[in-house]
């Protein structure tokens, strides 16, 4: 209904029209002319009173808490948004970085291989394999791996931002192993942790997992990877909840 339309004639008036008047969705000029006519009609006035009573009953209902599983999904989505996205690097740029790290171009690599009598063969799966008798390449180390966070028990809350960015099970290795350690400590959790990372707790190597604990809350569990398990409650080194109360 628009302001150009005529005010509906009545009585009687439809329940839908009275409900629109009650909800305040009619154009102001139409509502101003219609309301005194509706309130003057006994049947229409009863409908308005019934709508008032229904609205009062709804407003008197106690607050309905958000289900835990819904809160957990919201927390998980927020945590995923907080994780930094991997930068997009072109293939050419990646090759240039690789060559700079090696300090050699493709032609130099081939010449060096010929000088030392190294022969490469391509396996059916597309991977290169050394011929028998060749020395295996020395294992490489990643110097960019950062050391675990060093924390005290009263500092666990300060690490939430960093751990939420990670999904590193460290020495626990798998979600199943984490689930077993949580079970040993009597800790129930639905789904994967919001974040997990190795840490150092007061000089002891450990793994910190962040679990959902309701809307705006996080449960911080620190596990000893050498002792925790389904029947090992002592493997839980710390268990605390942070966030809104």
Q: What is the pTM of this model?
A: 0.44
Best CA proximity match to 190, nearest among 87, 70, 29: 70
DSSP 7: P
- Catalogue the E-assigned strands of 111-216: 120-122, 128-130, 149-151, 195-201, 204-212
Mean pLDDT confidence for 94-110: 53
Average pLDDT taken over every residue of the chain: 76
Select from 234, 183, 233 the least CA-distant residue to 204. Answer: 234
**105-119: per-residue pLDDT in tens?**
444 444 444 444 444
Burial class (CB in 10 A: 0-12, 13-18, 19+), 79: buried
What per-residue confidence (pLDDT) applies to 95?
61
User: Could you read off the pLDDT of 157-191 as tens digits, one per residue?
Assistant: 888 988 998 999 999 999 999 999 999 999 887 66
Q: What is the pLDDT, as a whole number, of residue 119?
A: 42
Section 57-78 average pLDDT? 79
What does DSSP assign to residue 192?
A: S
- Given a contact cutoff of 8 angstroms between Cβ atoms, the answer to whether 125 and 110 are in contact is no
Which of the four pLDDT bands, split at 50, 70 and 90, describes residue 145? low
- The residue-averaged pLDDT of 59-76 equals 79
């Amino acid at each position: 209904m628009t302001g150009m339309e005529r005010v509906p004639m009545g009585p009687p008036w439809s329940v839908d029209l009275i409900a629109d008047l009650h909800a305040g969705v009619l154009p102001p000029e139409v509502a101003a002319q219609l309301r005194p006519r509706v309130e003057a009609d006994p049947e229409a006035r009863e409908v308005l009173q019934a709508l008032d009573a229904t609205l009062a009953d709804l407003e008197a209902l106690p607050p309905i808490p958000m289900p835990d599983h819904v809160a957990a999904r919201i927390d998980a989505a927020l945590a995923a948004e907080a994780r930094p996205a991997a930068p997009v690097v072109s293939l050419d740029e990646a090759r240039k970085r690789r060559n700079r790290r090696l300090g050699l171009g493709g032609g130099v690599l081939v010449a060096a291989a010929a000088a030392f009598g190294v022969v490469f063969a391509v396996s059916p799966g597309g991977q290169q394999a050394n011929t028998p008798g060749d020395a295996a390449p020395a294992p490489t180390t990643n110097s960019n791996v950062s050391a675990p966070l060093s924390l005290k028990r009263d500092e666990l809350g300060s690490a939430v931002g960093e751990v939420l960015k990670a999904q590193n099970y460290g020495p626990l290795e798998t979600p199943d192993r984490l689930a077993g350690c949580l079970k040993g400590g009597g800790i129930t959790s639905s789904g994967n942790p919001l974040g997990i990372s190795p840490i150092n707790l007061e000089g002891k190597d450990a793994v910190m997992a962040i679990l959902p604990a309701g809307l705006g809350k996080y449960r911080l569990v620190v596990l000893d990877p050498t002792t925790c398990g389904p029947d090992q409650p002592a493997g839980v080194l710390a268990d605390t909840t942070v966030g809104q109360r």
